[in-house]
Amino acid sequence: MEKTAKIEEYFNLVADGIDKAGDNEKLFLSKLVLCLCHEVDNSKKIKNYIGISLEDLNLD
Amino acid sequence: MKIYSSNTSSIKFQSYEPNDTKIHAFDVVIVGSGPVGLTLALEMKKQNIKAIIITNNNFIPDGSKAICISRESMETFQSLGVADKISSIGLGWVNGKSFYKNDKVFELKMPDNDNEKYKPMTNLQQSILEEILIKECLQQEIEIRWNNQITDILKNDNNVQLEVKSLKNKYKITSKFLLAADGAKSKIREKLGLKLEGESYSGNYLISDIKIKLDYPTERLAFFYPSSNPKGTALMHKQPFSIWRIDYSLENQLEKKISIQDVKNMIQDHLNSLSIKKKWDLVWWSQYKAHCLSLKNFVHNRVIFCGDAAHLVPIFGVKGLNSGIADAHNIGWKLPYILNNKKPLSFLRTYDSERKKAITNIFNESKKSTLFMSPPTNGYKLMQNAVLSLSIKNSFYRSLINPRQSKAEKYDFEYKKFSYKDKSNFKIGQRLKNIKLTKGFLFDFIPNSYFILNGQNISIDHNIHSINIRNNDYGNFIYLVRPDKYIVYIWNKLNITELDKIVYNEIGFSNHGKNSKNRRIL
């Protein structure tokens, strides 16, 4: 599968998961993050992605 | 003295009144009659040091307070002659279970096997532990001055001069050392103008003991978000005489002062959530906040701080009482060695450095436990929930639920420059293991002094106490061990010159060339 197609698949999978979690979306996302951290197993990368994700949270 | 009652404060001891006006002189004055002060007194007596206890109580305060005694503390109590009594009443335990709502998410299994003399933990009410220790102190004719308090520290340089108030009189004491074991609200600390430093945590806990007959095993039960406390946690521990400890995090009542009826309601809710319908009585309760606070230094000239007077650690991991007993066991041989001129006064620094490092390690572990047990922010709370929820079916984050129970600390010693080869199961600075022998256990045979544990079938031409041992754990090595069971040095091939140098450094004399008079073969 080419890169764009893969990214589209991840996008859809996570969006679906959030919808399925309903009111528990925060818990769902936290669990997902912990699972992915476990899989990535690289503090430098995880710190970097936390930094990226904290950027531009308040654009209003 | 009525022993092991559930209402210890009903036992009143006779207040001490001085019968003369002269200055009373001692080698050591211990302030505080809690478990640490009493342990210190027994440690001093073991080494024939003239010590007294001064306490502003004339009774044993009611309440279980600290209930979990670690294996290492039991081994210390063994050396003081009280472990059998504690074992005969206490409840040993190894395992624990943690639940997230209704699901089990973690099983605690502490290291244990049939070759251990004591379980990793023994549950016993602090008030009963104090009764046992007081009885032993009185049997050993250790003077306890009940209803007396230090009102002033007049001098603290080459000795300590104290002003003491009894119920009817004031008198003076001079002592070579003062051991301050007067607890979290230490008056000695206050009188020296010292303050604890560190962090306090936001979580607020109700601690209660109830009398109820339940046929559950002795193990640690942790409930995260049970139906009785849907925003917090509850912990349960079994104690002797059908007493159960229930700790309950107060999520909605952080600043509110809770009433006895609130307490009863919370306990009933918790029992209901476990479908327990038996009758129960509230025996004792208190409120608790987690702290990691410590004095910068535990030694201040001739005043030495121990236990809660020196440091406050969170309850998670049960390190409060146990770290105080470890303090007492550390200073308990060092001070007599100084008083008997076997060590210089500067040797007190090693109490400071070893126990400070141990407490720093405990803080590091306890902080992790506290952040998980009592998450201070939304972020931590969300992560805690995520770990618990994942752990229902997956194991990869379960280690975060581990309460990190108390264990013996390793100390740093300074002899690495010699010929030690790192092949033994043990390391320099580690505590010996109380292994099972053909008859009894190793610690049944060790002296109150430095000794050699000889794993080689060779004769060691030295006057230091020596124990020959053939055992797989200790292997084919020779160990030099301190009176508190910590390994000073290990040889795979004994170099008698090194042994001489180290013994000289440690004890201040060397008897190389004289055969051991104190050899024992196990």
* Residue at token pair 């210890």: B8
**B390 contacts chain A (CB < 8 A):** yes
Q: Is the pLDDT of residue B509 over 70?
A: no
**Of the given ranges (B146-160, B272-286, B308-322, B344-358), which has the lowest mean pLDDT?**
B308-322
Cβ distance A34 to B389 less than 8 Å, yes or no, reads no
B382 CB neighbours in chain A (<8 A) are 26-27, 30
Percent of chain A with pLDDT over 70: 95
Dihedral angle computed from the Cα positions of residues B318, B115, B90 and B290, in that order, rounded to the nearest 10 degrees: 0
φ, ψ for residue B300 (rounded to 5)?
Answer: -125, 95
Reported pTM: 0.91
pLDDT, residue B420, reads 60
At B2 the pLDDT is 42
What is the pLDDT at residue B162? 97
What is the rounded average pLDDT of the residues B351-380? 91
Contact: A30, B382; criterion CB under 8 Å: yes
CA quadruple B378, B381, B387, B392: dihedral positive or negative? negative
- Residue B406: predicted pLDDT: 63
Q: What is the pLDDT of residue B3?
A: 45
| Partner B, chain A 6-25, Cβ-Cβ below 8 Å | none
Mutate: best of A26, A34, A41, partner B, most B CBs <10 A? A34
DSSP B219: -
Average pLDDT of chain B to the nearest whole number = 90
Chain B partners within 8 Å of A21 (Cβ)? none
The tokens describing A8, both together, are 């589209």
Structure confidence at residue B515 (pLDDT): 46
Torsion of CA A5, A7, A10, A15, to 10 degrees: -100
Q: How confident is the model at residue B69 (pLDDT cuts 50, 70, 90)?
A: very high
ipTM of the complex: 0.93
Burial class (CB in 10 A: 0-12, 13-18, 19+), B517: exposed
Q: Is B145 helix (H, G, I), strand (E, B) or coil?
A: strand
Q: How far is A2 from chain B (nearest CA, A)?
A: 31
Q: Kind and range of the H or E element at B180?
A: strand B170-180
pLDDT, mean of residues A51-58: 92
Q: Which pLDDT score is estimated for B77?
A: 98
Residue given tokens 């022998």 in the structure block: B437
Give B245-284 pLDDT, tens digit per residue. Answer: 999 888 755 556 788 999 999 999 999 999 999 999 999 9
- Evaluate if residue B511 carries a pLDDT over 60: no
Is the pLDDT confidence value at B178 over 60? yes
Alpha carbon distance B456, B445 (integer Å)? 18
Place of tokens 């002033």: B152
In chain A, which residues have their Cβ closer than 8 Å to the Cβ of B390?
A: 31, 34-35
B392: contact with A, CB 8 A cutoff: no
What CA–CA distance (Å, rounded) separates B239 from A55? Answer: 52
Region B82-90 average pLDDT: 97
Residues of A in contact with B400 (CB under 8 A): none
At residue B33, what is the residue type?
Answer: S
> How high is the pLDDT of residue B138?
96
Between residues B511 and B474, the one the model is more confident about? B474
Helix pair A3-21, A25-40: axis angle to 10 deg: 140
Q: Which of B131-135, B303-307, B405-409, B496-500 has the lowest mean pLDDT?
A: B405-409
Phi and psi of B288, rounded to 5°? Answer: -140, 145
pLDDT computed for residue B521 by the predictor: 55
Q: Of all helices (H) and strands (E), which one includes residue B155?
A: strand B149-156
pLDDT number for residue B418 = 58
Mean pLDDT of B503-510: 74
Residue B331, classified by CB atoms within 10 Å of its CB into exposed (0-12), middle (13-18) or buried (19+), is buried
Top-confidence residue, B493 or B293: B293
What the block records as the tokens of B356 is: 């400070």
